[in-house]
Structure 1
Amino acid sequence: MLVHNRQDKMNKEEESHQPQARISEGDDEEVESEEDEELKICQVCGDRATGYHFNAMTCEGCKGFFRRAMKKLNSSQCLFQNACVINKSNRRQCQACRLQKCQSIGMLKELIMSDEDVEKRRCQIKRRKMKMTPIPLSPHQEDIIRQLLKAHKDTLDMTCSEFSQFRPLCRATMDKNSKHSEDLDSSSLSSSFSTMEEMNQEEKRQKKSIFTSLSHISDMSTYMIQNVINFAKEVPAFRSLIIEDQISLLKGATFEILLIRFNMFFNENTGIWECGPHNYTKDDVARAGFQHHFVDPLLKFHYKLRRLHLDDVEYVLMQALALFSPDRPGITQFKDIDLYQETLAITLKTYIDSHKAETGKRLLYPKIMACLTEMRTMNEEHTKQLLHIHDVQPEVSPLMLEVFSNC
């Protein structure tokens, strides 16, 4: 009686072994086809089979039975001369004949995995499922994103309404030795002069101007720099740093943050920065004095970044990653800044994994990180050329010189 109770318990255990929870040790790889969709029969007991297990087509119950029987030291004996007929209803009654049937259809002990291998396989499956299921943002990460988005929206006017207050953009091509100024566009300052004397003074000023769009670009850059500073000051993690580190971070990152912000205005189809009613081309950058070995990579970078089609969260996390760079010159709170940058990087990766479709997120994170690295090289070239421009035509604002020099 005790033997029958123990046997019934074992049979219940094997019957409760569901396919979705199994470790497919020793299974042949299943390739589904139209024929595979037909009902498969267990070659041991005639029940519905779930695939090839240990070299034979069997059900989950016979698969589990064979694994356990092969691992047991003692062997069971048949009470009926080893002639039992094994089927779905009586397969529990004689272990000896059931095992003999398993071996006769080709099930192999050599394909049974060890307990250690089974555990490894189980862990692999668990990790695979975890990778397939995106990890949601933690409350702390969501709080970081809320802080950054608020700071971003408070300090970036997408209408660019303030741009109309800057000195007008002159698109004339000026030459150092020219005797006459070129005709100015409709936004020229000449339209605002009330007397001929004032017009003559403006002509004289234009004759001296080699970089005709520099005054407007300088005003615009100064305004945008002020907004970047205000953005940083709204971030609690930035305010917690000592003032010297705040200055070092801003000096190092302002150009990179400006690039990211201006990319939000960039039209990848036309190659134009559409800042509200104001449109800018790479020629406007060149007329401000920047040379082709800065302007060409600049335009190429904007195409590359814009084609990633980032949303506001990704843009703002990218700005924060540029800001909190622990390797900027003069940094003293290295560990604090490095830890926060790591937190930002993990937040960005988690956001992409949990919010982007599978096709769009696979390479997005490394591409963003590559853009952050690329901006470092452009940063150095921008500073070099800006200082040269100011030497030739001193119209670069004091704030620009302070932020971009010695960064």
Structure 2
Amino acid sequence: MEEDITILNMESGMLSTPLKNSYTTLPTTSNEGNSVWTDFSNDNGYVMNYDAHMFNTMGTSTAFSPEFSSEFSPEFSPPQEPSPTPIDQGNYNITNSSNNSSNVAPILNDPTGATASTAGGSQKAFVPCKVCGDKASGYHYGVTSCEGCKGFFRRSIQKQIEYRCLRDGKCLVYRLNRNRCQYCRFKKCLAVGMSRDSVRYGRVPKRSRDRMQEDVRVTSMTGESEVDTEVEKHQLALYDIILSVSQAHHSNCNYSEDKVRNLAHRPMHFPIERRFGMTNGEGLLPVGNIIEQQKIIMWETLAQYITPEVQRVVEFAKRLPNFTEFLQGDQLVLIKGGFFEVWLVRMSRMFDIQFGTMTMCDGCFLGRDQLDVIYNTDLVTAIFQFAVGFNSMHLNDGEIGLFSAVVLLSADRVGLSDPKAVEKQQEKLIEALKLQLTRNHSSDPQALSSLILKLSELRSLTARHNDVLMWYRANYRRLKLPPLFSEIYDIPRDDAAMGVGDVAVSSTHHISSNSHESPVSNHVAALNYPQYVVDGKGPMMEPTLKPDNVV
């Protein structure tokens, strides 16, 4: 059944000149809501653009508004025998009749309105999606992209989806296969410059329109649209690092922005009286003893929070590019030497200088006076100062993950067997971090230099922290600590100090970093430690650890 579509005669203002619906059988370029425009023109230059959404699925007509070129003839003659042009995979063929009396061609929404012409005839401008080559619908997350890739990138960021490639991580991404490998599609999104920090609202700004004009791909009368060229291999490698590190950080950090946004804050509880009591049977204990007991119970309680973070940092490290290729002894040295610094970087947003608090992942917080007891006033003051300076840089979680990786892979850690291999990988991480900072913090050319200075500040904090640990090492017989926590900070263990039901540990007081029996080395090798659970009232006491032996 043929349906008539009437158009408005511009001279008389009357409806005239019916068009058969065979002229309006419009193909679609995408199943993701992109508009398709078709051009009906005659020799006189009269041009009308029709939106595909003006027609319903049954082919009936609806009202529409024609658009005209600057010069037109009021007498419009529709093409006599047009052939609908199939549109597929970004290839747009323009059919030209033998007498050049009519053209049926797809006109893709070009926000820039850019066109081009050659000696052979006019050409229609085409802006492709920089990710898959489909028709771009606008400027999204920093680049010109289609609706499909815009939505895919938004979902990937919001839900923190972790993708994996079933091949070699080098799948080609184009319109017809873009849903086959989400890992490579997300990597391509990052490679072409998509960033969640580049969201645009409202009309496209002039600078963005200028960039879109540069991205226009001109479709010739007899050719096919060009596929967006791949970026350099070196830059792709950097984006691969950025993607891997960002995913590793999001999967193994409890202090990302979205996870701590709605925490319910409450003071941390320390059951000092239940553990020690406040009397010795003859009266109150001396003040010095009470302070030491407070120090011990606070340290043990904090250890229950920090031990799961050791596990997460180990997981994070193992997913860094080439980390598992280091000697196992070097992996252990890097984790033990860098854990405190990485933990501080992650915890920075949890320090509140105004209220003088440090908040843990479950919302429990410690005040400055409590932190002063656990550590000392000088160290706590320096930690708060570091947090204030670090937070002032306004890094996103991906950049914090990259900086954490740079911190962890420090080639000057004492005890490394192959520091050159570590240094080589750290240089790649710094280059990837520089790329992200240049793109996301273009107004701050000193951002990378400021972060490099933070490395020295962190090293100074580590030295002060080691001084504090000396007291706990000297009083190890009075402590009840998780073995993973004791190992990461080189605190000896004493079986005699353990009560019934306490954690079984090695009979040695201290396990060197070269021992295959250490909890950290077992953790690096097997990652079979149980998950530590934090309930509504604070962390649960740690279960007995039974790590697999390293083969």
* TM-score normalised per structure 1: 0.53
Give the match for residue 140 of structure 1. Answer: 237
Residue 209 in structure 1 maps to residue 306 in structure 2? no
How many angstroms does 1:340 deviate by? 0.8
Of 294, 301, 315, the match for 2:379: 294
1: distance between equivalents of 2:392 and 2:306?
24
The answer to whether residue 451 in structure 2 is matched with residue 368 in structure 1 is yes
TM-score, normalisation: structure 2: 0.40
For structure 1, the 5+ residue unaligned runs are 1-134, 171-187, 191-198
Determine what percentage of the aligned residue pairs are the same residue.
22
1:388 to 462, 471, 496: 471
Secondary structure at the counterpart of residue 273 of structure 1: strand
Aligned to 1:278: 364
Deviation of 1:344 (Å): 1.0
Alpha-carbon offset, residue 216 of structure 1: 1.3
Secondary structure at the aligned position of 1:256 is classed as helix
Which of 169, 179, 188 aligns to 2:269? It is 169
How far did 1:368 drift?
0.8
Q: How does 1:239-388 map to 2 (within 5 A)?
A: 239-275=324-360, 276-288=362-374, 290-358=375-443, 361-388=444-471
Look up the SS of the partner of 1:362 in the other structure.
coil
- Whole-angstrom distance in 2 between the partners of 1:145 and 1:318: 11
Note the 1:48-127 alignment, pairs <5 A.
none
Distance 1:253 1:201, change over 3 A: closer
8 Å contact from structure 1 (residues 268, 307) kept in 2: no
Preserved CA contact (<8 Å) 1:282 1:299: no
The answer to whether residue 313 in structure 2 is matched with residue 228 in structure 1 is: yes
C-alpha distance after superposition, 1:6-30 (max 9, x if no partner):
xxxxxxxxxxxxxxxxxxxxxxxxx
2:485 to 388, 400, 403: 400
Structure 1 residues 277 and 200, CA, compared in 2 at 3 Å: closer, same or farther? closer
Q: Contact 1:268–1:306 (CA<8 Å) still a contact in 2?
A: no
Q: CA deviation at 1:343?
A: 0.9
Q: 1:365 to 1:392 in 2, by over 3 A?
A: same
Unaligned runs of 5+ in 2: 1-230, 281-288, 491-511, 514-551
**For the residues of structure 1 that align with 2:425 and 2:344, how far apart are their CA atoms?**
22
Larger Rg: 1
Which segment is superposed worse, 392-401 or 242-251?
A: 392-401
How many residue pairs were aligned?
242
Higher helix fraction (1 or 2):
1
Q: Using the alignment, how far apart are the partners of 2:240 and 2:275 within structure 1?
A: 58
Q: Is the 8 A contact 1:266 1:274 kept in 2?
A: yes
2:349 and 2:325 mapped to 1: Cα distance?
29
Letter in 1 for 2:244: Q
Alpha-carbon offset, residue 201 of structure 1: 6.7
Q: 1:248 to 1:203 in 2, by over 3 A?
A: same
Name the SS for the 2:322 alignment partner.
Answer: helix
Counterparts of 2:242 and 2:250, CA distance in 1: 12
CA distance in 2, matches of 1:388, 1:150: 38
Q: Choose between structure 1 and 2: higher strand proportion.
A: 2
Per-residue deviation, 1:269: 4.6
Q: Provide the rounded CA distance (Å) in 1 between the counterparts of 2:276 and 2:318.
A: 42
Q: Which has the higher contact order (CA 8 A, sep 6+)?
A: 1
The answer (yes or no) to whether the contact 1:169–1:213 under 8 Å persists in 2 is: no
1:192-203 equivalent positions in 2, closer than 5 A: none
